Structure 1
Amino acid sequence: MLPLGLSMLWETVDPEAALRERFGFDSLDAVTDWATKALDTTWGIAVAACPRMVISDQNAILWVASDRGDLVVKWSGARERFGSLDASTRLLRSLADRGIPVAAPLTAPDGLDRVVLDGPSGELSVTVLPELSGDWLDVTDRAAVLSAGACLAEVHQALGSLGAGDAFEAGPREPAPAPAGGSTAPRSGELTQTISDWLATRDHQLAPEASRRLRSLLSGAPELDDEPQLVHNDFRAANILTRDSTVVGVLDLDEVRVEHRVHDLAKASVYLGTRFTAWQPTSGDVRQALRAGYESVRPLSPAEACWFEILVVWQGLHAIPRGNDPAGWASAV
């Protein structure tokens, strides 16, 4: 569980300063006053306390005890993302309707799942969710990892039944940390060219043997026989809750994008064990367990299996930090 009071999710900056500079609040008490009025006025929710808040870039999460139970209030001050956040919030409800363990948003009386409200220093895009209870995924628990793999396949199946929609703005085509534009994923021919270009111009040779292996794998890559669709794009321990080795909650669909499903599985395989400031590579045994769980629900085609290996290596190369590498990302890839 994250600490009580105000904290940063992953940045090493003063949270009080970040709260003032990014959102215009002087303190957590000021946030509590604002949230109490906003939830009462907009959702008809009576707030009893706000014991915990975390900040991540231009986004914040506030835990609320209320007359409707324990809630989570999420907001963003990044106005350029308001459209995509509206779309990802609607996806939560659609996934919940299809039996995926996500927190369906509480609808405001006007029928909206996400509302733009005035904050002290600008507009905030706000949604209110029930708090899901569970423990973050422990990648040393093989049964839990198998459950996570099966759950990811179920998420893909549910998302595959939905269209991206005209308002949906997908994330980047490449596994870079910062989101970017682009509404469609590349076909395998384009993906081959993208990876080839990356190897030629952006590979820092932090793991030369892995780079050579990626070139070799890419040279024999088959046509990928899978249509791009909506995928989670951030499926890892910090966004997976478990209880008794079973997934009971999938969090954070804010990074949803259009991509090949095998690409999402490969990314999850590389980053599965990461949590906030604790970033370490995923072992081969854990990657195998995640894939086995996934294929218990949705087996990969032969072409997808080839691309899975390619994309795991590519994602692994992207994950290697420049400079010190105490977690051993280079050796892992």
Structure 2
Amino acid sequence: MFPPGLSMLWESADPLGVLKERFGLASFDEAAGWLTSVLGQAWALDVQACERILISGDNAIAWIRTNRGTLVAKWSRDQDQFVKFAATADLQHALHRQGVPVAPPMASLNGQYRVIIDSLSITVQPHIQGGLLDTTEHYAVRGAGVCLARLHNALATQGDSRLTALGRLTGRSLDLRHRIETWLHHDDPGMVPAASARLRDRLTALPPIDSEPQLVHNDYRASNILTSGSEILAVLDFDEVAVDYCVSDLANTFVVLGTRFTKWQPTPERVRDIFLQGYESVRPLTALERRWLHVLVLLRGIQAIPPGDDPAGWANAV
């Protein structure tokens, strides 16, 4: 899936320069040596080889062969997120115990699933061999819909205050009407005025939603869904977990389901329908949730339109 050695996930930058600037490591070998020391110290792992390191923003991911199999180590320098990262590691452990397909973090020697060493927050997870969700494989798409509904049901039972407080801390309004009206008034770039007008009209006729906000994944798309055939092997990357409505998470997924790192394209209507069939086989929407879904999909679709050239046809998709 990714080349061996050192590379960037999506940024156009020299990975060696970024490795030095962001993590203070001058080379791939130096990074592998540092990682070997850290994992031996905190997890008692014997690292036999580091195959690749991928840098994404303030985060890095390494694939390593150890005495306990192939593992994935992730670390971050974003100290403002350290409390959340620790909470999401605990969350993934809890979801694993509930039977949700995730890559469960490995407990360190002190029992923590996320450890702070050298001013970096580090976690270790098993490497799960699989491919990214292919939205042309309709059975897998339906399975991904089933999986998201089960994930939503499981997340509804989680009450970690470090995460449930996110609804207050992120500045995201939990009043959907206010959120959309604010965006239309202050942030709409006006690239598709007809679509924005439809959004205003549909919003005016909607009563308040008849569900409660809860924890949601907030980044459920192809690059975070590992599959084997039609089976969902694991949902990855809980770094964007937030408090919101399930239908808002579903709307975001409708729009970005097929996106992969630097490859972004709208989700075809047929794929959305199949995904929703799977989702509603586990968690049926109320009539009002369905109306809000249409509005939120339109909002998210407008927001996804890139400035300048639009070769993937995002503007046409709304």
TM-score > 0.5, shorter chain as reference: yes
Q: Which amino acid in 1 is paired with 2:96?
A: A
Aligned: 1:40 with 2:36: no
- The 3 A distance-change label for structure 1 pair 67 and 12 is same
1:193 Cα deviation after fit: 2.0
Report what 1:110 is aligned to.
110
Is 1:275 the counterpart of 2:260? The answer is yes
Structure 2, unaligned runs of 5 or more: none
Partner letter of residue 133 of structure 1? Q
Query: For residue 146 of structure 1, what is the aligned residue in structure 2?
Result: 142
- Out of 249, 270, 275, the residue aligned to residue 290 of structure 1 is 275
Change (3 A) 1:168 1:64: farther
Task: Confirm or deny that 1:258 pairs with 2:247.
Answer: no
| Residue of structure 2 equivalent to 1:220 | 205
| Corresponding residue of 1:4 | 4
Alignment match, 2:291: 306
d(CA) in 2 for partners of 1:29 and 1:98?
A: 39
Return 5+ residue gaps in structure 1 as ranges.
Answer: 173-179
Distance, in Å, in 2 between the alignment partners of 1:164 and 1:152 is: 20
Equivalence for 1:162:
158
* Contact 2:7 2:53 (C-alpha < 8 Å) held by counterparts: yes
Query: 2:52 corresponds to which letter in structure 1?
Result: R
Superposed CA RMSD in Å reads: 1.4
- For 2:202 and 2:91, the matched residues in 1 are separated by 35
CA shift, 1:205, in A, is 1.5
Aligned residues: percent identity? Answer: 48
Q: Number of matched residues?
A: 318
Match of 2:123, SS state, is: strand
1:169, 1:257 within 8 Å by CA — same for their partners in 2? no
Measured in 2, the distance between the counterparts of 1:46 and 1:304 equals: 50
Distance in 2, matches of 1:171 and 1:81, equals 15
Corresponding residue for residue 316 of structure 2: 331
* Partner Cα distance (1:45, 1:170) in 2: 34
Which of 185, 195, 203 does residue 180 from structure 2 map onto? 195
- Structure 1 segments of 4+ aligned residues over 3 angstroms from their partners: 166-169
1:84, 1:169 within 8 Å by CA — same for their partners in 2? no
Residues 305 and 167 of structure 1, relative CA distance in 2, 3 Å threshold? closer
Please list the CA deviations of residues 188-227 of structure 1 after superposition, one character each: whole Å capped at 9, or x if unmatched: xx32122112212221121122111111110111221111
Alpha-carbon spacing, 1:168–1:17, altered in 2? closer, same or farther (3 Å): farther
Query: Aligned to 1:64, what secondary structure does the other structure show?
Result: strand
Q: Tell me if 1:319 matches 2:304.
A: yes
User: Partner residue of 1:177?
Assistant: none
In 2, distance between residues paired with 1:40 and 1:202? Answer: 48
Match of 1:55 in 2: 55
On the 8 A contact 2:83/2:162 being kept in 1, the answer is no
Distance in structure 1 (CA, Å) of the matches to 2:146 and 2:71: 27
Q: Using the alignment, how far apart are the partners of 1:204 and 1:250 within structure 2? A: 33
Out of 229, 233, 240, which is 1:248 matched to? 233
Query: Shift of residue 169 of structure 1?
Result: 5.3
Segment drifting more, 251-260 vs 217-226: 217-226
